Amino acid sequence: MANAESVVFRKSYHIEGGNFQSAGSVSKKIKQILKQLNIDGEIIWRAMIVAYEAEMNVVLYASEAEVILEISPKKICMIFKDKGPGIPDIPLAMTEGYSTATREMRERGFGAGLGLPNIKKTADNFDIQSTVGSGTQLIIDINIF
Amino acid sequence: MQLHEIVKLLGAEVLVGAGDLDREISAVHASDLISHVLATCTRGALWLTGLLDSQIVNTAELFDLSAVVFVANRRPTQDIIEAAEMENVPVLCTQYTMFESCGLLYSKGLKPSRRCG
Ligand SMILES: Nc1ncnc2c1ncn2[C@@H]1O[C@H](COP(=O)(O)OP(=O)(O)OP(=O)(O)O)[C@@H](O)[C@H]1O
Ligand SMILES: [Mg+2]
């Protein structure tokens, strides 16, 4: 997280697990804010990749999540803290191609097992922690400069 | 290549975005998997798909894709069309299959949407 003094914007959002109707809406709200702050399009695009991957994982696998967006002059920080089953084997979940997606999720175009590796590749900083039976927390930074 | 040239090449029907056909397109992503789009798309790419899902438009808008083409005459539902109008995402529909559409675009020099690094 950024120093409290340097944070120019902070907001929190809620994601409902299992709700495909509203899926993507938090990412969209974050995009609008980044645009209003005149952040470079390429940086917004990278922020959207990680935000949407993380949001969809909550929709697909968790019951709900709180998202905290913090923008400082140097970076965009997003924290996704969900209540859900947690991830028993994080290195395995981080492997390209590993997915526990159901058939329905795959029919909707998800479940290639690329999301977490894509977040790691796209982010400037990425931390994942998970407790089985309780939930998962992602901290993702995208540098602005 | 501009979007209107792609409309012509694919004999496509423009369902949304008739006013945005001057968009310049250099790269194409063809896939029914949103996961693949997320992992490989580049900004401004054209997205060819046979997947009819409400997340398509969301995804195209979030990742700055220039337009969506539904192949093999897959007709998007009204909610997809309305979302595309709201989000200003051009939507085309072509009779050509995914294979044929890709072949036509490839033969005209369009490149795969691919991230470097
Ligand atoms: N928030 C989460 N809570 C519980 N399990 C998760 C969570 N996020 C990911 N996982 C687990 O990790 C696996 C890999 O996640 P990842 O995002 O890489 O791929 P995916 O969601 O299965 O497919 P894709 O992201 O390509 O659509 C998931 O299949 C799931 O088992
Ligand atoms: Mg995922």
User: B10 pLDDT exceeds 60?
Assistant: yes
Share of chain A above pLDDT 70, in %: 97
Q: Select the more confidently predicted residue: B60 or B114.
A: B60
| Confidence category of residue B59, pLDDT binned at 50, 70, 90 | very high
Domain ranges of chain B: 3-111
Domain that holds residue A35: 8-143
Q: What is the pLDDT of residues A82-127, one digit of tens each?
A: 999 999 999 999 999 999 999 999 999 999 999 999 999 999 999 9
The answer to whether position A26 is within a domain reads: yes
Q: What is the pLDDT of residue B47?
A: 98
**Pocket around ligand 1 at a 6 A CB cut-off:** A 53, 57-58, 60-62, 82, 84-85, 87, 93, 98-101, 110-116, 136; B 35
Q: What is the mean pLDDT of residues A8-27?
A: 96
Residue of A nearest to B63 (CA): A45
With a cut of 90, say whether residue A137 has pLDDT above it: yes
CB contact under 8 A, A45 and B63: yes
Average pLDDT over residues A25-53: 97
Asked if A116 contacts A128 with a C-beta cutoff of 8 angstroms, the reply is: yes
Tell me the best of A20, A49, A56, A57 to mutate to test the pocket of ligand 1, counting ligand atoms within 8 Å of each CB and taking the most: A57
Kindly give the residue spans of alpha helices, DSSP state H, lying in B1-117.
3-9, 34-40, 55-62, 78-87, 98-107
- What pLDDT, on the 0 to 100 scale, is given for residue B20? 96
Q: Give residue B56 CA to ligand 1 midpoint distance, Å.
A: 19
Residue A2 lies in a domain: no
Minimal CA separation from B38 to chain A, in Å: 6
User: Which of the listed CATH numbers 3.40.50.300, 3.20.20.70, 3.40.50.410, 3.40.1390.20 matches domain B3-111?
Assistant: 3.40.1390.20
User: Does some domain include residue A49?
Assistant: yes
Contact A49 B38 (CB under 8 A): yes
pTM for the predicted model, two decimal places: 0.96
Report yes or no on A132 lying in a domain: yes
Position A145 confidence tier, pLDDT thresholds 50, 70, 90: confident
State whether residue B54 sits within 8 Å of chain A by CB: yes
Rg (CA), chain B: 13
Q: Which of A61, A108, A114, A129 to mutate to test the pocket of ligand 1 (most atoms within 8 A of CB)?
A: A61
Q: What are the tokens at A35? A: 């645009």
DSSP3 helix / strand / coil % (chain B, rounded to 5): 40, 20, 40
Structure confidence at residue B115 (pLDDT): 86
A5 touching B (Cβ < 8 Å): no
Is the CB of residue B27 less than 8 Å away from at least one CB of chain A? no
Find, in chain A, the residue whose alpha carbon is nearest to that of B59.
A24
Q: Comparing C-alpha atoms, which of A26, A21, A30, A14 is closest to residue A108? A: A21
Count of domains observed in chain A: 1
CATH assignment at residue A18: 3.30.565.10
Tokens of A126: 């990425």
Distant-in-sequence, close-in-space partners of A34: CB < 8 Å, separation ≥ 6: A43, A44, A47, A71, A76
Task: Tell me if A51 sits within 8 A of A27, measured CB to CB.
Answer: yes
